[in-house]
């Protein structure tokens, strides 16, 4: 009988996981990459429960706390622990919502303490130096200028940039249509400078670049005629930063952070920045108020009379 119960539980568990993944795709609208990450993290818990001979229908808070302690013991970084636990909480929330359980054992599960870390931000001068480091004599030079100007001008995620289509551009009106997380679309203003660089790029694109069938609508193309990849943009920015003498640890996302920070410094409304970035919650956008406060503190320390007097007395 015990063997039969185990078999039934395994079949039920497999069905729950299948429905959970469908829920993430259809109800939450998550991307395939995000769903894969959730599935991988859930798999860690399922392997632990299999060793402990516990089903997802019987797991308790104590079981989850032992699993969490195990993550710490094998040296998983606190940020990765927090991500794994977030996925597990999502799974048990679904189980309760779908009437597979009456209680949520993860409700009181505490994650690791994570210190607040501000992202790197480039100054306008540093961004100009990176863009000026592009070699326009190369075939891809003008394309690269258009990539970086669009990335910075619109505050795009790198995936949004790579998937940008010609049919998403409304350059005469000064807007582009961006498809973000969960396939949610938003209209984002684009600067005149970025429009100018795009138009120069389109001259090259239409005359000297061979485009593979199926990729005709993509704005940015790789040398082999397909759409550019996130890795390609990452390497491009790393190489240009090195040429420009920028020592900060930057990535395509740094341009997005810089875009938002510069808007806030210029007096833009936080809600407007939220809309342009495509953040679902204003809490995500509020990280930029912390960046702004840090810069404000630096300015005060640099220019306040008390600080100047203190520095002179220390000499």
- At residue 213, the pLDDT reads 94
**Angle at CA 48, nearest 5°, toward 42 and 51?**
140
Provide CB contacts within 8 A for 76, sequence distance 6+. Answer: 84
- C-alpha dihedral, 119 to 123 to 129 to 132, nearest 10°: 90
Q: Write out the DSSP string of 251-271.
A: -HHHHHHHHHHHHHHTT--HH
Residue 221, beta-bridge partner list:
227
Strand pairing category for 175-179 and 169-170: antiparallel
Homologous superfamily of the 124-166+193-300 domain (CATH): Intergrase catalytic core (1.10.443.10)
pLDDT in tens, the chain (315 residues): 356 566 667 788 889 999 999 999 988 888 888 899 899 999 999 999 988 888 899 999 999 988 888 887 777 888 888 889 999 999 999 999 999 999 999 988 887 766 555 668 899 999 999 999 999 999 999 999 999 999 999 989 899 999 999 999 999 999 999 988 778 889 889 999 999 999 999 999 988 899 999 999 999 999 999 999 989 999 999 999 999 999 988 889 899 888 888 887 777 777 877 888 887 766 666 666 655 555 545 544 554 454 444 455 655
In the prediction, which pLDDT does 127 show? 94
At residue 286, the pLDDT reads 62
d(C-alpha 63, C-alpha 69), whole Å = 10
Q: How confident is the model at residue 287, as a pLDDT?
A: 64
Catalytic positions, please?
157, 181, 253, 256, 279, 288
Instruction: Indicate where the chain has its CATH 1.10.443.10 domain(s).
Output: 124-166+193-300
**In this structure, are residues 270 and 166 in contact, taking their beta carbons and an 8 Å threshold?**
no
Q: Does the reported pTM lie above 0.95?
A: no
| CA atoms of 285 and 227, how far apart (whole Å) | 29
- pLDDT value, residue 296: 47
Size of the chain, expressed as the number of residues it contains: 315
CA pseudo-torsion sign 215, 30, 180, 290: negative
């Amino acid at each position: 009988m015990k063997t039969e119960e185990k078999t039934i539980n395994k079949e039920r568990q497999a069905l729950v996981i299948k429905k959970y993944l469908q829920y993430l795709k259809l109800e939450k609208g998550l991307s395939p990459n995000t769903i894969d990450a959730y599935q991988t993290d859930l798999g860690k818990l399922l392997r632990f429960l299999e060793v402990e001979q516990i089903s997802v229908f019987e797991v308790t808070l104590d079981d989850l706390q032992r699993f969490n302690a195990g993550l710490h013991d094998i040296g998983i970084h606190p940020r990765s622990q927090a991500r794994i636990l977030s996925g597990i909480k999502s799974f048990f929330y679904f189980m309760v919502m779908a009437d597979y359980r009456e209680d949520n054992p993860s409700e009181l599960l505490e994650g690791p303490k994570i210190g607040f870390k501000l992202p790197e931000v480039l100054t306008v001068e540093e961004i100009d130096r990176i863009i000026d480091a592009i070699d326009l004599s190369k075939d891809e030079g003008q394309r690269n200028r258009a990539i970086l100007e669009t990335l910075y001008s619109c505050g795009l995620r790198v995936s949004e940039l790579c998937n940008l289509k010609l049919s998403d551009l409304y350059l005469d009106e000064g807007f582009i249509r961006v498809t973000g997380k969960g396939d949610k679309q938003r209209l984002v203003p684009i600067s005149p400078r970025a429009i100018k660089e795009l138009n120069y790029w389109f001259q090259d694109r239409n005359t000297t670049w061979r485009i593979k069938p199926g990729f005709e609508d993509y704005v940015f193309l790789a040398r082999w005629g397909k759409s550019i990849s996130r890795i390609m943009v990452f390497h491009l920015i790393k190489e240009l930063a090195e040429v420009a003498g920028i020592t900060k640890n930057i990535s395509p996302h740094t341009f997005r952070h810089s875009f938002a920070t510069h808007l806030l410094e210029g007096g833009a409304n936080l809600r407007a920045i939220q809309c342009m970035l495509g953040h679902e919650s204003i809490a995500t956008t509020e990280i930029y108020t912390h960046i702004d406060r840090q810069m404000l503190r630096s300015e005060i320390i640099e220019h306040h009379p008390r600080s100047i007097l203190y520095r002179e007395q220390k000499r």
